[in-house]
Amino acid sequence: MTWRDIFTNFLRDSLRARTRREILLKELKEAYLSKLNAETALEYAQSVLQYNEARIARINKRLTDLGEEE
């Protein structure tokens, strides 16, 4: 198969009408990717929340310790 045949087949395939199955499979793939992105964002947000909760506890402890020293 020549380069020209490959390119022609690529263009022909790219421009043909998609079947309902192909459209639905593409949409399903996009939904999975979107879900993975949302899960990643959720994991990040949870880690930021845990970090700030620990930070608040640490600062409150230091403030309490400071209060006892003064």
pLDDT digit string (tens) for 51-66?
Answer: 999 999 999 999 999 8
Token readout for 28 is: 């399903």
32 Cα distance to chain centroid: 10
Token readout for 54 is: 């620990």
Give the residue numbers spanning the domain of 59. 3-69
Asked whether residue 70 carries a pLDDT value surpassing 80, the answer given is no
DSSP state of 37: H
Domain count, the chain: 1
**pLDDT tens per residue across span 3-59:** 999 989 888 888 888 999 999 999 999 999 999 999 999 999 999 999 999 999 999
